[in-house]
Structure 1
């Protein structure tokens, strides 16, 4: 048995629950569209019981976890005998291209997780650490868009064991010959019938042919029966745009939790992206129906606490945003 270095006593390892994470590494990064563009790390986790699954974490979640562990077990704040020298976490970077920053963090965070998961048993059993590596419902429902740094898991296709007939299975016909450049890519010839297993991203599919399973570019095939539509979790922000004598409603999809409270600059940039040719202002509506212009982060507290909608809509942020043209001051004199 290959044991983490600090788990020297076999009994220490044996006492761990089967669902405790013992190894993890980053398979890819994904760009997410929220109030601002950010990147999540796609992490493959392996448990003591040999289960494997994917989780999605932002750098800020790594930072929060590390701060809690330092507070509980670090030399300065920990309580004997539960004191441990924790691995260093790569520091925050405030300036630079977000994608390049995320890419540069992959080997550093890989090393951090590897060192962290060789910690003493009492750290591996820490509630915050276990929650970090736990696969949430949101994690399990998301499908990786790509796995650049990880070979896709091998699927075993059992012959004559399909409950549905071949005519009901998602499938495609090869339009051209395709010879993969890597072991995980599926080789096929023009005219071959390929049964579809999953959508890796918008350009690549996973499928099977004869005894082979692998990924291939969608442009090389003609879809006969497509895979079920994937539903990525999304929240909605309802906006009312008061354009002189007309009020338009726009619902903006965001990959954010509806409990998220954006900063003023994040919200302003998001709305400017939605209305790129308009010099606009952000507003909220008070209980009397009058519009109040938002100017800074202090006003965001007012928006979240006082701008709540009366009837909650599923997956919608619980507050409404009203947008006006910057020079349209008459809107504040109207009875709403």
Structure 2
């Protein structure tokens, strides 16, 4: 005889009382990144940020196979097609992306992110009684192995706004200021992001979005993912900002120079005009804009010659030289003072090589 364990879930379903759920019940989950795991069989797993009813957030690491196994179990227990289950104890489960047996593993993992995000959103939006299922709770539970894993940069949670403030040290009592402790090392992708070392204290300045904060440590100001820190004293509610931050778009003028002609683009970005991007970020962005991989970045010097950009020092030189020419060129207030000239990597005909 099958034991009836549905009395409490049935009660919750009938009352639709979300308040009866425990505070540690997961209510949202978002894939923040993927990472490769090397071993006898190499595979990619998803880094997932889970938020609970009580407001806590943590990271878990799951393979697609674990998603698939969970879905199979839930289907067997609650699918309406199961003749052994009466109607009140069933529900329509969301569909899960199917297995893929051929192709590049990283590309497959990347392509699954939107579908799995939708799957988790619909799964956690099912009737409250199903959220109490042990298999579902264990899937979203942060195990000891999850908590000890060093998180990555969580690129999919990065805020679109990366404006950095210039802020002096708090003049009030430091121990009364909003602050957090770094639980992991974090190395930012640009000067807008604050490098952290495990154990150091960060003074909090504002919330950038639901997942990123702005703060100050070692006289440096920048943004960082909240998942990398433990909040000691939270920011006041009035200091929190909604995602997007309300900052206006900045405009970057760029040119693609090819033997067939010049393609001029004005690219809208949300970075502040004063931010110095990295060579890596700019190159990736231009590849995405022009849909060409084999490209090089360039700028024009004061004499009008094209100079190839090879690293971050060249970026700094480009910005410095453009600032000296600001008075000669009239630009919109939201346009960067420097311009990018994109060429094919193998095309050296665009450079002035005369002695």
* TM-score, with structure 2 as normaliser: 0.45
